[in-house]
Structures are given as structure tokens and as C-alpha cells.
Amino acid sequence: MKKLNNKGLTAIEVLISFTIASIIIISMFKVLNVFEQKEEVVSVKTAVTSYKNQVNKSIMDDIIKCGGLNNVEVDKEEVVGDAHSKKATLMFKKTDGNCLPKDIKIQQDSNGDASYIKYGSERFNMPKVLNLKFTESDIIQREGFVEFRVSFHHPDIGNQFDAIKIILPLESYYSRVY
């Protein structure tokens, strides 16, 4: 009797191979989805950190150039429609032509589209990240320092987070003689 040469695959072998390959591909899509979500969180935090650094650098350059802060005058909050703004005036130690008092204004609206921080003539628009919104801003003056705080919310990160927190010491407080 002649022996048959069976070198091909049966239908069951092809079906099992296809099933195994499908399971591997589906699990890879799940892993990719998790990495995409993590990438979104990192990109939001990176954009907000870059925004904070721009604002902070501009303020700190003036503070260093003008010998420190002498005083900060915090104005009351303004509400116009759905927009809230908080403003303070920074008074520098030196008062020459380059060191005149500068205003810092934190503007937020309810949907976050027109939110920005304005320092002197510079305007820092909120980073263009989908679903990122200003949730709260505050200018707090305490004995010896002033704190500028802006909180954000993004659905991938969860609850609101303090993204911008700039604390500036007042020279007039630390240079007192007791």
C-alpha cells in the first residue's frame, strides 16, 4: 500500500492558528490603548509645566533685575458674565525706568477657552490641550510672601490639580529690623 504525503494544513489547524493570532492581536490593542492614555496624561502635564515655566521665568527675570519685590497690592476679584479675573500689582525694590510696577492678572472663564495669565504687557494663553480647563485661581498675600495659584482640571488626570504655584517673598518683610 502506498503512503500518502500529507504536507498541507487541515482546516482545524488553520482555525486554531487564526484564533491564537487573533487573541494576541486583541491583547496588543489593549496594551496600546493603555499606553495612549498614559501618553495623554504626560502630554497634559508637560504642556502645563511648560506654561508654568514661561510665566515663572518672566516674573522671576523682573524680580532679579529689579532687586526683589518690595510689596504686592492685591485687587478684589472682578466678575464679568462668566469670566472671573484676579489682579495684583508687583512693586519692585528698584524704581528706575525698567522696574516700574507691573500688574499680573489671572483671567478665567467658565469653559476655559479664553483663560490666560497676563503679566505686564505679556499675555500667556492657556495651553491648547483638549479638555484642559482652569478650575480655580487665587492670589494670596500672607505675611512675608505672596502666592499665585492656578488649578486645572483634565478628565484623564482626574480631580483638579495645582499646576501653577508661584510663591514670591517680599523683601520689605525680610529686610525689617527687629
DSSP state letters, the chain: -PPP---S--HHHHHHHHHHHHHHHHHHHHHHHHHHHHHHHHHHHHHHHHHHHHHHHHHHHHHHHTTSEEEEEEPPPEEETTEEEEEEEEEES--STT---EEEEEEEETTSTT-EEEETTEEEEPP--TT-EEEEEEEEEETTEEEEEEEEEETTTEEEEEEEEEEEEBHHHHT---
- Residue 65, pLDDT score: 86
pLDDT digits (tens, 9 = 90+) for 23-34: 999 999 988 988
Summarised one tens digit per residue, pLDDT across range 122-174 is 998 887 776 777 777 788 888 888 888 888 777 777 666 667 788 888 775 55
Asked if the model's pLDDT at residue 21 lies above 60, the reply is yes
